[in-house]
């Protein structure tokens, strides 16, 4: 069977909508209930940095009671407007481009070839694909940029007899876990160690062990799930949603599809080149999102036109249908981004940060270490950027961890854990909402599926932090 268009299920959309609306109302209530305050900030290397000891309470700005309704539109007038615009355009272009490949039968043909190749090694395929995504997240800090591959993994998963949730599990999930179990990720490890004054990429051996343990845990989680739905497909959390996808009888194999696939595959080889180059060329990293989207659009149109399996008119029609199919995700992303806006414009974020910092006084080293971890977990709900959060949190907290006798290397590791794993948990993370928007999986169902894994990751993180502290992970 061949899916003809990419779209979000109505039920999935409304479930996610309700969750985000409740969070927006909660954020608005907190903006009234909590005091307002402010730290002084300075610019350091083009990034905003808090000055410790400068917190003061300020008069609460006027907050309209309808703020939770207008906040999604105000996002376009905030400091994040450019980033939000790029994210939304990326989502629409990817949705439209993938729809072209679906409509012409190219995705179906590619999935058929992969299925035949790995029919006798199904579980090995899960392990190989998830390792690929984890390595890119851990080494290069690539998370959002790999979303382009999510629709392919979902299509492959369904072709193998699994479900859309498994497709996210072998793509989105390992991308986020790789980002969290970073080895030389420059955006988290590099920035955090620089702020802590540590040698660049020191303690690499322990982080490699962390990566291996997280990968092993992920495989246990994924293989257990796929074996379960192989025995009983109806046990899938998204069984009804997958069954409701628009399908049609698979097209008779057209030899020209293979020519189109060769064209598309050759062009797509530029993607890893772009990702690796962005690691070494900082100026390129800011343009990576639009470049990836443009590459995908050109390859989608070019491959179907070069192979002659679709006319330009039909390709444009499929492209527009794909954009319309993922358009509801735009609403969800704007709602998710508005939660941060509500909290920052009411000036309560700095109050929460000051309150948490004050709790460090009188704690034991282990208590302070766990509090740092918990604090970063909370902050990540509002500030998903790892490097931006490091500049805000670490200058304030590292002097306090010094007083408690916590090595800065261990404090950095606590920051990495707190910043990374919750990227796959919070609906305020744009990458998560984009990926869900390219599938039939609602946020509540994603949460239900991943919560047991998140619990296991929390326990694993605490064990590694205890080991790092007890062994005096350094150099200081």
Q: What is the pLDDT of residues 302-348, one digit of tens each?
A: 888 888 888 899 899 999 988 888 888 888 888 888 888 888 888 88
- Is residue 439 situated within a structural domain? yes
- Is residue 3 situated within a structural domain? no
pLDDT, average across residues 149-161: 87
Closest to 345 (Cα-Cα) out of 78, 83, 45: 78
**Confidence band of 134 (pLDDT split at 50, 70, 90):** very high
> Which pLDDT belongs to residue 253?
59
CB 352 within 8 A of CB 34: yes
Q: Which residues form the domain of 127?
A: 9-470
- Is residue 237 situated within a structural domain? yes
For the whole prediction, is pTM greater than 0.85? no
- Is residue 355 situated within a structural domain? yes
Number of domains in the chain: 1
- Is residue 362 situated within a structural domain? yes
> Which pLDDT belongs to residue 404?
84
CB 106 within 8 A of CB 99: no
- Is residue 1 situated within a structural domain? no
Closest to 392 (Cα-Cα) out of 359, 353, 420: 353
Closest to 274 (Cα-Cα) out of 171, 170, 101, 140: 140
Per mean pLDDT, which of 126-130, 341-345, 379-383, 454-458 is the most reliable?
Answer: 454-458
Q: What is the pLDDT of residues 68-102, one digit of tens each?
A: 788 889 888 887 788 788 888 887 888 888 888 87
Provide the residue count of the chain: 476
Q: Which two tokens stand for residue 206?
A: 């322990």
> Which pLDDT belongs to residue 292?
81
- Is residue 291 situated within a structural domain? yes
pLDDT, average across residues 217-226: 96
Q: Which helix (H) or strand (E) holds 37?
A: strand 37-38
- Helices then strands, each counted (H, E), the chain: 23, 6
- Is residue 2 situated within a structural domain? no
Given a cut of 80, is residue 251 above it in pLDDT?
no
């Amino acid at each position: 069977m061949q899916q003809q268009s990419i779209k979000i299920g109505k039920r999935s959309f409304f479930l996610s909508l309700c969750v985000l609306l409740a969070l927006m109302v909660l954020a608005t209530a907190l903006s009234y209930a909590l005091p307002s305050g402010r730290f002084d900030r300075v610019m350091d290397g083009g990034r905003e940095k808090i000055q410790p000891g400068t917190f003061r309470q300020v008069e609460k700005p006027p907050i309209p009671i309808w703020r939770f309704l207008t906040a999604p539109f105000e996002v376009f007038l905030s400091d994040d407007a450019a980033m939000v615009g790029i994210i939304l355009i990326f989502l629409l272009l990817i949705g439209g481009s993938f729809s072209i490949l679906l409509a012409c039968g190219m995705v179906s043909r590619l999935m058929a070839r992969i299925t035949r190749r790995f029919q006798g090694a199904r579980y090995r395929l899960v392990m190989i694909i998830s390792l690929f995504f984890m390595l890119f997240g851990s080494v290069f800090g690539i998370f959002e940029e790999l979303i382009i591959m999510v629709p392919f993994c979902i299509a492959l998963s369904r072709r193998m007899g699994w479900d859309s949730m498994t497709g996210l599990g072998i793509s989105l999930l390992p991308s986020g876990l790789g980002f969290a179990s970073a080895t030389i990720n420059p955006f988290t490890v590099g920035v955090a160690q620089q702020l802590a004054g540590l040698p660049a990429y020191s303690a690499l051996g322990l982080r490699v062990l962390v990566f291996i343990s997280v990968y092993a845990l992920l495989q246990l989680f994924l293989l257990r799930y796929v074996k379960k739905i192989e025995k009983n497909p109806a046990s899938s959390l998204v069984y009804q949603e997958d069954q409701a996808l628009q399908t049609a009888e698979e097209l008779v194999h057209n030899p020209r599809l293979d020519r189109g696939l060769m064209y598309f595959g050759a062009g797509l080889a530029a993607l890893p080149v772009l990702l690796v180059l962005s690691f070494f060329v900082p100026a390129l990293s800011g343009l990576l999102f639009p470049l990836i989207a443009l590459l995908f659009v050109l390859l989608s149109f070019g491959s179907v036109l070069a192979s002659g399996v679709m006319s330009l008119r039909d390709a444009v029609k499929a492209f527009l249908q794909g954009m319309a199919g993922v358009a509801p995700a735009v609403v969800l992303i704007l709602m998710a981004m508005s939660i941060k806006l509500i909290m920052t414009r009411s000036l309560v974020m700095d109050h929460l940060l000051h309150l948490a910092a004050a709790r460090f006084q009188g704690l034991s080293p282990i208590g302070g270490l766990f509090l740092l971890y918990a604090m970063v977990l909370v902050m990540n709900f509002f500030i998903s950027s790892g490097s931006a959060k490091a500049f805000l949190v670490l200058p304030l907290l590292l002097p306090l961890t010094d007083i408690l006798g916590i090595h800065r290397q261990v404090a950095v590791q606590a920051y990495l854990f707190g910043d990374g794993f919750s990227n796959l948990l919070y609906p305020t993370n744009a990458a998560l909402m984009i990926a869900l928007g390219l599938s039939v999986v609602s946020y509540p169902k994603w949460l239900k599926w991943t919560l047991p894994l998140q619990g296991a990751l929390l326990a694993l993180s605490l064990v590694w932090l205890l080991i790092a502290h007890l062994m005096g992970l350094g150099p200081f």
